[in-house]
Homo-oligomer: A and B are copies of this chain.
Amino acid sequence: MLPVRPLPAYLVQRYHGWKATTFAENRAWYKRLAEEGQRPRAMVITCCDSRVHATSIFGADQGEFFIHRNIANLVPPYAPDGDHHGTSAAVEYAVTALKVAHVIVMGHSRCGGVQGCHDMCSGNAPELEKATSFVGRWMDILRPGYERVAGREGVEDALTELEHEAVRVSLENLMSFPFVAQAVEAGDLTLHGAWHEIGSGELHVLDAETGCFVPV
């Protein structure tokens, strides 16, 4: 027997509120979405962090974004080795089955995963270096980004730079997936990098020319 509990009452109450308002006002659309399937325009890859709501920031409603959220919005390199790869599966499904037109990787400030990566790579978090640390092994994906920041001169804010690298590394890894590269080359898909500052509400986007993040 699974040790599950009923849903907390406050969530049940809020759900009923949603059902009676948002759902009721949009039931025809939700019915179509159910019957005809989703047709999202974009995939968004963003962090699990509770402070980051891509749908709120982009005013998106049901049906618009196919959203994958993981720690530090990372995409691992292409590795078709037969293992479970949740992020790669999400990318494959979005690009080959749903044929989304955009993939947006959005990082954010004060990212706990990026902080952990920084601590680990700089030798200050031995517990994350253990083989059994899921967070540590996941953040290994960002090690190439850490090396780049470490080798850069005049870095003022290493954590922000590393958050930016998390977006760049993910975009580079995305391009290592043959079906992504092909779709980009065929003009069927565009990639976008963004970074959100939680406290100030600012949104910065990755500029292809300069390779830098600039405010929109």
Contact = CB atoms under 8 A, between A and B. Distances in A.
Interface of A: 1-43, 48-53, 55-71, 74, 76, 80-94, 97, 99, 101-102, 104, 109-110, 112-113, 131-135, 137-141, 168, 171-172, 175, 183-184, 187-194, 197-201, 203, 205-208, 211, 216
Contacts of A99: 32
A213 to B, nearest CB: 11
A17 B59 contact: yes
B138 A86 contact: yes
A4 B136 CA distance: 28
A38 B11 CA distance: 19
Contact of A206 (B4, B14, B17, B135): B4
A99 B53 CA distance: 21
A26, A37, A189, most chain B CB atoms within 10 A: A26
A140 B85 CA distance: 11
A21, A37, A38, A88, most chain B CB atoms within 10 A: A21
Overall SS of chain A's interface: mixed
Count copies of this chain in the complex: 4
A44 B31 CA distance: 20
Contact of A208 (B1, B13, B74): B1
A74 B187 CA distance: 32
Contacts of A43: 48
